[in-house]
Each structure stands twice: as C-alpha cells, then as structure tokens.
Amino acid sequence: MRTKKRSQKLTLRPNVLNPTFTLPSVNEIRSALKTDINSRSSDQLQAIFLWLMLNKKVTHLIESTTELEELAKLAEYKILQKNDVLFYEGDDSEGWYVMFTGTTDVIIRLFLVAEDCLFDSDETDSTEFAPLMSKMDLDIQHDKLQRVKVNVAGDVFAYHSYIPDETGKSEIDGKRHATIVCSSDYAELVYFPTSSFEKYALIKQKDLYQKHCENLKRVFPRIRDDQVEHLSLLSEVMNIPAHTTITSEKCFGRYIYIIKSGTIARYRVVDFSDLSFRTISAPFETLQLHFPDGMHPVHTDNLVEGSVFLDPSVHTLTGNEFNIKTKTDVVLIALDIDYFKIIVGTFELERVRQEIKSTLTDDQVRKIWVDSEKKRLWEKFKTRTAGEAKREIKGENDFKTGYVVARKADCPSALPAFRPRIVKPYAPSHLAKTKDFSEPMVY
C-alpha cells in the first residue's frame, strides 16, 4: 500500500534572511588601495567596496550600492607624516577624502570669522601653531589659528567646497575653508576626485546644506549669513533611537543640539542630600513619600522640534546639570560647541546661553519631584485598590451563586488520537447493576 509522502517545510537560517558582511582586514584594504587603480583585481575592488559600504558616513553621502562600486574603482591611497599639511585654507579645491587610519586637525584662521571671536591669545596656542603660521606667512602678533575639529578614521571631509547655491556658483567660492594638518605619527587617507562627488552626492548634500542653513537661521536669527554658512559646513546629523539616555558620563561629545524631529525629555539633576531617607506620612503606607538619596534627576520639561539644548557634558555653560532621554526616535543637528563659540562670538554666545538656561531653582525642582511622585503613588494605589476590590466582589458573587471553578484536562496536542482511559469497576455484573456501576468511570 502506497503512503502519502510527508511534506517538508523549508526553513531559512537567520544568516540567509539577513546576510552579514565581514569587513576585510586593514592590511587587505591597504594593499588594495596601494594597487594602481587600473591594475586592481576583483577581490581588491570588493575589499574597497565593502569598506566603503560599512562606513556609515560614506553611505550617508552615497546610498546606492552601484554608485559605491563605481566609487571603489576611483579610490587612491595617500599618506601623511606628522605635521604634514594636506592643503591650506584658501587653496583651490581638488578632490575629497576619507580617513583610513590616524588623525588630522582641522584648523581655521580666527580673524576671518566673527568680529568678537571668543579666544584668548595665550602663549601655548601661539607656540603650538608657530611652525604652521610661518608656512602660511602669518604674523603671530595679529593672527591666530584655532583647531576646530579632529578627523579620525572613517571621517569624510573636504567636500563642502563643491556645494553650489541656486545660481550654480559655489557657496564658499570653491576654496578650502580650513587647513588640514596631520596630527598623528602618520595618517592614511583615501582620495576621490571632484567629479565623483559631483556625480554621486552633490544633489543630496546641496539639499542637506540648505536645510541646515534654514534651521540655523530660524533658531539663531541674529547671526550673519556667513556665520550660518560656516556653522552649516561642520554641522552633523545624528539619529538617536527612542529611550536613549544621555548623561555627562555617557554622551556623544561637546555639542550644542537642534532638534530636527522627535521629542526629548529633559531631567534636571539636583541634590536631595538634605532630605535623604526622610518620609512624608500618609493614611496608607503605600502612599508614603520617600525622598531619594544624594543627586537625583527630575523630569522638568520636554523638548520638541526646533528646541536647542546643550550636551550634558558641557553643563558648565548653563550652570545646571541635566540628563536627556529620548521619548521617540530623534534626529539632531549637532554643532561643536568650541567651534560654535568661535563663529558666533562672545555677545551672541551669551544671548544663546541665557535663552537655554533653566530659570528653575533647586527648591522648585524638588517641589516638581514631590508633586509628580505623589501623583505616581496615587495612580498606583488607585489601580491596585481597584483590582483588589474587583477580585473581592467576584469572589463574593461566586460564593453566593455557588459557582465552582472546575479544571478539565486538555488533550495533549502531540497526541491527536489520545482518548481518556475508561476504567470499569471490578465487581460482578449483578452487583454492578444493583450498586449503579452501569456507567463507566472516566479519568
């Protein structure tokens, strides 16, 4: 007798459904980059392509994998020794770069920015940049250089010169807006020609740059257009998932943030040491208020789209310590606070500081905590009391009506042909009839 063939279900492993890519070793990528662009093998091109694809800052510029494959064919290897200058501020633009290993400093001339630049003419800075100022033919008495950023492995830079305005001309005259100097023992860079950026990333970056300018003008309406342009060039976009907590110890860097989308809860950190271990009595024990011990964050307000706030690591500017927690997925525009100080100047920085500074005193914050904690305890008490009352009423009704909860064994799903065992009484048939054992007992 032929039996029906049992059907088989195809199950895909997680690595088939979600394929993962392994990044080639640094030596493999370096060897591929050092090879002439016309002599690279398919494996070498694949290594460069994977390195580019797994770099989030590169894929932020160029999202298409096809375009990344074409970009991998144009990559060239460059190396700098310590204190070597890649290009000077004001040079004609030629190509853009991705940091492979090492670090480079981004340095600008301060007198070209704000009339009241916020810097101190100290001997340390003058000594540090004296060789560079000599190369640039700058007078140490009247000029000052300032490091505004450090490029590390994976960073993309030197492409801002190619962002045009609506007239088709460059926003920054096609000139380099900063000087790039190698700050580590050596730095390896990957060079790409200008045409690659214009072909693959220009339109997206132009739109992003214009949106940054619009956001900055709306948030800081008093600063000049040239200051807006400088801030937009070095602004970063950060995507923060929901329920992420940012503190002074766990932060993203020294930034001033503008919320592009999403909602953030702000917590003011105050000292409860004077009230530690104290309680406020209540009619029920569960309603008693217990004060926290030492420093404790208190939710004071929510920040929405267009709001400005400082990273908790730079709370000295606001005079108060804050913690931040994202309530939803949040998109932030991040501006380096030290660079922001230089660009906007002393007067504007003070106005911004006053605008974002909290006006609440520590006592007012403690009162906010007391009110919110009382509300939380009361809601919890009501919910629990209502549940207990509901169970009590249900029990009384069951008792009055005589309802009894009976359990019945379910048929095991693994045994579709399972039948409960029928047990017959051990007695003669004539006794079974007299004692009413005619019905079988089911267990």
pTM for the model: 0.63
User: How many Å apart are CA 170 and CA 113, to the nearest integer?
Assistant: 18
My answer on whether 38 and 87 are in the same domain is: no
Residue ending a domain, choose from 332, 364, 396: 364
Q: Tell whether the model's pLDDT for residue 199 goes beyond 60.
A: yes
Is there a contact between 312 and 247 (Cβ–Cβ < 8 Å)? yes
My answer on whether 223 and 360 are in the same domain is: yes
Q: Tell whether the model's pLDDT for residue 433 goes beyond 60.
A: no
Q: Tell whether the model's pLDDT for residue 103 goes beyond 80.
A: yes
User: How many Å apart are CA 276 and CA 263, to the nearest integer?
Assistant: 32
My answer on whether 95 and 31 are in the same domain is: no
Query: Which residue type does 5 have?
Result: K
Confidence of residue 172 (pLDDT cuts 50, 70, 90): very low
My answer on whether 58 and 166 are in the same domain is: no
Q: How far is CA 13 from CA 16, 22, 50, 319, 431, in A?
A: 5, 18, 23, 54, 65
Q: Tell whether the model's pLDDT for residue 73 goes beyond 50.
A: yes
Count CB atoms within 10 A of the CB of residue 157.
19
> Could you report the per-residue pLDDT of 25-43, keeping only the tens digit for each?
889 999 999 999 889 999 9
Closest CA to 310 of 299, 324, 292: 324
Compare 309 and 426 and report the one with higher pLDDT. 309
> Could you report the per-residue pLDDT of 317-347, keeping only the tens digit for each?
666 778 888 999 999 988 888 788 878 877 7
My answer on whether 86 and 67 are in the same domain is: no
- For position 170, what pLDDT does the model report? 47
My answer on whether 240 and 342 are in the same domain is: yes
Residue ending a domain, choose from 41, 57, 74: 74
Q: Distance from CA of residue 343 to its chain's centroid?
A: 25
SS3 label, residue 198:
helix
Residue ending a domain, choose from 364, 387, 422: 364
Tokens 């895909």 -> residue: 12
Q: How many domains does the chain have?
A: 3
Q: Tell whether the model's pLDDT for residue 287 goes beyond 80.
A: no
- For position 122, what pLDDT does the model report? 47
Residue 42 included in any domain? yes
**Tokens encoding 283:** 């009619």
How confident is the model over 56-69, as a mean pLDDT?
A: 85
Residue 322 included in any domain? yes
Residue 337 included in any domain? yes
Residue 272 included in any domain? yes
**Tokens encoding 133:** 């100022």
My answer on whether 236 and 342 are in the same domain is: yes
Residue 221 included in any domain? yes
Residue 280 included in any domain? yes
The CATH number for 83's domain is 2.60.120.10
Residue 394 included in any domain? no
- For position 18, what pLDDT does the model report? 52
My answer on whether 299 and 312 are in the same domain is: yes
Q: Are strands 255-261 and 308-310 parallel, antiparallel or unpaired?
A: antiparallel
* Residues 156, 188, 37: CA angle, nearest 5 degrees: 85
The CATH number for 38's domain is 1.10.8
Query: Read out DSSP for 205-217?
Result: HHHHHHHHHHHHH
User: How many Å apart are CA 134 and CA 130, to the nearest integer?
Assistant: 6
Domain that includes residue 191, residue range = 78-195
Tokens 């992420």 -> residue: 244
User: How many Å apart are CA 214 and CA 231, to the nearest integer?
Assistant: 12
My answer on whether 86 and 33 are in the same domain is: no
Q: Tell whether the model's pLDDT for residue 380 goes beyond 90.
A: no
User: How many Å apart are CA 257 and CA 332, to the nearest integer?
Assistant: 6
User: How many Å apart are CA 336 and CA 235, to the nearest integer?
Assistant: 8
My answer on whether 352 and 230 are in the same domain is: yes
My answer on whether 277 and 255 are in the same domain is: yes
Confidence of residue 171 (pLDDT cuts 50, 70, 90): very low
My answer on whether 63 and 138 are in the same domain is: no
Residue 345 included in any domain? yes
